[in-house]
Amino acid sequence: MALESVNPEELEPPETYSHVVIATGTRMVFVSGQVAEDRSGNLIGSGDMAVQARQVFANIGHALAAAGARPDQVTKLTIFVAGYRREHLAQIEEGRVALFGDHKPADTLVGVAALSRPEYLLEVDAVAVVDEPS
């Protein structure tokens, strides 16, 4: 599996993501939206965006591993933020970097009025491209 990140000269270079990711591989992995719950369904970090972001991205990592994928194979994220404010970016990025390090998949951040439960502040889904195991 190979990923190529492209940031066209005509677009402002992003700090935390890539404008374009070109993926070649044989299998796609789609991870449903993950929220800040532990394995028992308990909310982690009530009212705390930073704590919820760490849990959400940890859950993305667990889901990827279950599918035989790694964080560096993620090509696209969609990030939904309830009641989005600009100061949320740094808190979300902290959780993101904990999982992805320097890897910068393409992403879309969408501010929404609410998620499926009012205590959820963040939900993230992911797409990865991997090669079939040999």
Amino acid at 99: L
**Which 3 state secondary structure label does DSSP give 129?**
strand
pLDDT over 90 percentage in the chain: 76
For residue 125, what are the contacts with CB-CB under 8 A and spacing of at least 6? 30, 31, 32, 33, 34, 77, 78
Confidence grade of residue 70 (pLDDT, cut at 50, 70, 90): very high
Which residue has tokens 């190979």?
A: 2
**Strand arrangement, sheet containing 122-130:** 27-34, 122-130, 74-82, 106-112
Give residue 9's Cα distance to chain centre: 25
pLDDT of 134 over the 60 cut:
no
Percent of the residues in the chain that have a pLDDT greater than 70, as a whole number = 99
Domain boundaries defined on the chain: 2-6+30-130
Under the banding of pLDDT at 50, 70 and 90, the label for residue 133 is low
| Class in CATH terms, 2-6+30-130 | alpha beta
Residue pLDDT, tens place only, 3-21: 888 888 999 988 889 988 8
